[in-house]
Amino acid sequence: MLHSPSSARQKKFDLLLLGMVAMETGLVSLALVPAQLWTRLLPQSASAALDGPFPPAIAPVITALLYLTPTAIGFLCRSWQKALLYATIPAWIGLGLFLTAATFKVGPFYLVSADHIAANVSVLELFAALGAIGWLGRFFVKVRWTM
């Protein structure tokens, strides 16, 4: 198969998407770690219980990244199915890790309690909505890539 410039461009977009999904997965996983664990992992930090691994100076940047990255992922996807899938993968992985850790501590029925189901579904809906907003943004900005 011959490599055309558009396939090289597609590879770059795929790598960019993969990197953004990996970065968002890391941020979501760090955000779901309980404050007590950060206090044990970062004993020298006086604000570890409140801020986790992020200093207060960059906390707004982390929050912005948590919202803007799924939107950017959706914006870079050509189909709405991929936009929703790629935007929600970090939430699926982060929630999966969190729920697995919580069931070890609380018990196997932690996952099926009504308040936890609603919270978990809300997180997935948020990430899906952000990915959809990004995908819809392609039409408002009139971005057309020939890939």
Q: Which pLDDT belongs to residue 97?
A: 87
Q: Which pLDDT belongs to residue 2?
A: 47
Q: Which pLDDT belongs to residue 146?
A: 44
Q: Which pLDDT belongs to residue 117?
A: 80
- Which residue, chain included where needed, has tokens 């609380």? 106
* Residue pair 89/79 in contact by the 8 Å Cβ criterion: no
pTM of the model: 0.80
Stretches where the chain sits below pLDDT 50 are 1-2, 146-147
Q: Which pLDDT belongs to residue 24?
A: 94
- Exposed (0-12), middle (13-18) or buried (19+): which is 66, by Cβ within 10 Å? middle
Q: Which pLDDT belongs to residue 134?
A: 94
